[in-house]
Structure 1
Amino acid sequence: MRRPRRRRTDLPQRYRVIFAGPVGAGKTTAVRALSDVAPVDTDVPMSFTSGDGKTTTTVGLDYGTWRPTPEVSIALIGIPGQQRFASARQRVSIPGTRVLLWLRGDRDTLVADADEWLDVLAGEEHRVVIAVSHTAGRAIGDIRRALAAPLARHGIPASRVLAADARDRDSVMRVAGAALDLPEEKPRPDPPDGTTPPRRPIRPACTPTSPATGPCGRASSARRRRPVCSSWRSASRS
C-alpha cells in the first residue's frame, strides 16, 4: 500500500517581478542590486558602442532572487530590451507576477519607449509600475506630464511613475515594493449606464503570522496567490 503524500506547508510564497524596458534603462543593474543571491545574467559584448557608454546587452534572461522574509520568495527576471531577442521575454499574465518597466529619463525617446513597451504589455497594465532612471535632475512631476498621453491611453495612473536609481538597492526595493502592492485582479470597467458595480469587501489589514498561513495571514495556495502585503516591508529593512 502506497503511503499518502503529505503536502508541505512550510514552502515560501512565490512571486515574480519582471524587469522590462529598452536597452540601457538599468534592468540588469537593478536585478544585481536587489538580488540576495549571485544573479545569473546573459550579458554579451555589444557589436556597436551606444551613445551612453553601454558595452554589453542582455540576450536572454537575467535571474535573481529576493527574500524580504523567510516566508516570501520573489524571482527577479530581467528580459532583453532588443526586439530581436523578444522570444526570450516572459509571460506576465501568470498569477503572482508584476512588471517594473524601466525607462531612461535623459533620452529624447522617453515617450516613444513608453509607448512601445506599454503596447508590448497591453492587457496587463494593472500589473505595471514604471521606474524612471537617469532623470538628469528632472522632477518626477515633469516626467509624469511628459508621459501623460501613453499613460492615459493604457489606463495607468501617473502615481505609478516613480524615479529610481538602478544601482541603489533601497531605491530598487522601493519601486519593486510598489509593484508587488498592486492588486492581482484586473479592475472592472464601470457599466455604461453609469451605475456603480458591486465591490468586494475590503480585506482586513495584513498581519504577520506563522509560515503555514503565509505573509498575509491566509492559507497558502498555489492556485490563488495574493500580492505581497505590507508585512514584508519591516522585515526587509531590518
Structure 2
Amino acid sequence: MPRIALCGPMGIGKTTAVRSLCGALMSSSDVRNLDLAAHSKELTTVGTEFGEIDLGGGEVVQICGCPGQERFSFVRQWVLSVSMGVFIMTDVNSPTSLAETNHILDEIGQLPQPPVTLVLSARPATTQQIETFAQGVYSAGHGVIPVLEADPRDRGQLLDAMSVLVSMLSLQSENS
C-alpha cells in the first residue's frame, strides 16, 4: 500500500493536514508542548501520526505525519525510508523555510530509494514568492521540485496536491 509522508517544521499544519485528509479515523501522538520557546501551540507531535485515504476503486493511501522538532529527526528519517512520496510542508515566507526544506531534501537524498517529493506552501504566498522559493531549492542542488500552495485545513486542496504527487509517482514508474 502506498505511503505518503508529511514533513516540515513544528506548527506548520502536518497534524491538521492528516486530520483534513483522513478525518477522525487517524492515530495521533500529540502531547502537551513543553517547548513553548520554539512554538506557542498547546500540543505537539512526538511520534508518527497515521491515517488512510480511500481514493475509490480499491485504492488506499497511507498518510504519515512526522514530528517537526529536530530532536525527533530519527522518526522522520524512518518514515521517509518507508514512504513512496513526501510532502514537505513549509511557509515560503519564513526566513528559515528554505534552510529547513533543504535540510529535509538532503536527508531524502541520502536514502537508498528516495521518495518522490513535492513542497507544499502551507501559508498564503504570491506566485513570485513561490517561484523564488522553488529557485532557491533548485540552486541548492535539489533539482526541480514542484512547489504548490495548499491550506492544511482544506481537504480539496490537499487532494489536488495528492493528485500531482500520484502523477509524479506514475511518471517515475514509467521511466524506471
TM-score over 0.5 for the pair: yes
The answer as to 2:119 corresponding to 1:130 is: yes
2:121 is matched by which residue type in structure 1?
Answer: V
More helix by share: 2
For residues 126 and 63 of structure 1, the distance between their equivalents in structure 2, rounded to whole angstroms, comes to 18
Name which of structure 1's ranges 122-131 and 166-175 shifts more when overlaid on structure 2: 122-131
Distance of aligned partners of 1:50 and 1:143 in 2 relative to their CA distance in 1, 3 Å threshold: farther
The answer as to 2:69 corresponding to 1:68 is: no
More strand by share: 2
Q: Which residue of 2 aligns with 1:92?
A: 80
For residues 85 and 25 of structure 1, the distance between their equivalents in structure 2, rounded to whole angstroms, comes to 16
2:63 is matched by which residue type in structure 1?
Answer: L
Distance of aligned partners of 1:50 and 1:165 in 2 relative to their CA distance in 1, 3 Å threshold: farther
- CA deviation string 1:19-60 (max 9, x = no partner): 111111111110000015511110111113357642221100
For residues 38 and 93 of structure 2, the distance between their equivalents in structure 1, rounded to whole angstroms, comes to 12
TM-aligned CA deviation for residue 184 of structure 1? 5.8
Number of matched residues? 172
Q: Which residue of 1 aligns with 2:158?
A: 172
1:25 is matched by which residue type in structure 2?
Answer: I
Distance of aligned partners of 1:93 and 1:51 in 2 relative to their CA distance in 1, 3 Å threshold: closer
For residues 44 and 126 of structure 1, the distance between their equivalents in structure 2, rounded to whole angstroms, comes to 28
1:154 to 108, 124, 142: 142
Unaligned runs of 5+ in 2: none
Q: Which residue of 2 aligns with 1:222?
A: none
Q: Which residue of 2 aligns with 1:110?
A: 97
What TM-score do you get using the length of structure 1 for normalisation? 0.64
Percent identity over paired residues: 25
User: Contact 2:93–2:129 (CA<8 Å) still a contact in 1?
Assistant: no
TM-aligned CA deviation for residue 93 of structure 1? 4.9
What TM-score do you get using the length of structure 2 for normalisation? 0.84
For residues 185 and 68 of structure 1, the distance between their equivalents in structure 2, rounded to whole angstroms, comes to 19
User: Contact 2:84–2:116 (CA<8 Å) still a contact in 1?
Assistant: yes
Larger radius of gyration: 1
For residues 43 and 97 of structure 2, the distance between their equivalents in structure 1, rounded to whole angstroms, comes to 21
State the superposition RMSD in angstroms: 2.7
- CA deviation string 1:88-133 (max 9, x = no partner): 2234355x71111100134221212122111121156660010011
For residues 106 and 176 of structure 1, the distance between their equivalents in structure 2, rounded to whole angstroms, comes to 23
Q: Which residue of 2 aligns with 1:220?
A: none
Unaligned runs of 5+ in 1: 1-13, 188-198, 201-225, 227-238
Structure 1 SS opposite 2:138: helix
For 1:1-238, list aligned pairs within 5 A.
14-36=1-23, 38-49=25-36, 53-89=40-76, 90-94=78-82, 97-122=84-109, 127-135=116-124, 138-152=125-139, 153-157=141-145, 160-183=146-169
For residues 34 and 25 of structure 2, the distance between their equivalents in structure 1, rounded to whole angstroms, comes to 26
